[in-house]
Amino acid sequence: MTFRHFMKKNVRSGSEASTVISTNLKVVKLAILGFGGVGKTSIVKYYVNNKFDDEEEYGMVEVYQKQKVINGESYILEIVDTCHELSESDTTVKQHVIGADGYMLVFSILNLDSLNALSDFRAQIRQARRQSTNFYDDVNLQIPMIIVANKVDLNESEKLLNEMREKIQCFYLPFVQTSAKTGYGIQDAFDVLVEEVERTKNPAINHLQTTLKQRKLSYVQNFIKNRCNIL
């Protein structure tokens, strides 16, 4: 299901989308950010509709909805996809993004600049949430985020990722590889982000025991502070 803002409303139903939100379901709002052309919208569309769709959307912000069971819990996921950086977005777009429970930072393995830009996106999220009255008392500012490397179905993807490995490590965030074309890693990416949201809400949860992180999630190791200069 898609709700288009700043344009005529357009609603689409995915295979697991629901128009009725039960009181037994947890509502989690996720935002997906990154350079244009990295495949953000295709990732969301594959997740919602279970098929590849590279048709571009032209709204300032798109809100998708999907019902999903993750680790035995039933959720309604509201996924915000925006084509703008927060610094260039209007107030309504910022409100959508700032109000998210977790953030997916996406880059393309074909574009090193799209990876470098993720530090700016993370800084913009933190700054915007600090300035929001809803988060003024969030001293530690523990914001659930993951990094997603998209387009890993392409030739030489392993070689390209290895060249980017050190920069990825500097974020010290959960890292998932995806292909919006084949669907590889798409389910895991959203499941892992929801797990990060729950872990932040309840620090007692031992995230090392979750099955997804034991499978395809690659937790960044060997964080070297004197070689990383990101916010």
Question: SS3 letters for 44-92?
Answer: HHHHHHCCCCCCCCCCCEEEEEEEEEECCEEEEEEEEEECCCHHHCCHH
Cα 50–186–170 angle (5° rounding)? 160
Q: How far apart are CA 131 and CA 120, in angstroms?
A: 16
| 1-5, 142-146, 149-153, 177-181: least confident range | 1-5
Q: Given a cut of 90, is residue 132 above it in pLDDT?
A: no
Q: What per-residue confidence (pLDDT) applies to 79?
A: 96
Q: How far apart are CA 128 and CA 10, in angstroms?
A: 28
Q: What per-residue confidence (pLDDT) applies to 128?
A: 82
Q: What per-residue confidence (pLDDT) applies to 70?
A: 93
Q: Per-residue pLDDT averaged across 108-131, rounded? A: 90
Question: Across the beta sheet with 145-150, what order do the strands follow?
Answer: 2-5, 61-70, 73-82, 26-33, 102-108, 145-150, 174-177, 218-219
Range of the domain at 43: 2-227
Q: Given a cut of 90, is residue 202 above it in pLDDT?
A: no
CATH number of the domain to which 89 belongs: 3.40.50.300
Enter the tokens of residue 18. Answer: 């629901």
CA distances from 23 to 14, 16, 53, 172 (A): 21, 17, 32, 35
Q: How many domains is the chain built from?
A: 1
Query: Average pLDDT of the chain?
Result: 78
Q: How far apart are CA 47 and CA 145, in angstroms?
A: 18
User: For the chain, how many helices (H) and strands (E)?
Assistant: 7, 8
Whole-structure pTM value: 0.78
Enter the tokens of residue 179. Answer: 């292909």
CB contact at 8 A, 175 and 149:
yes
CB contact at 8 A, 106 and 33:
yes
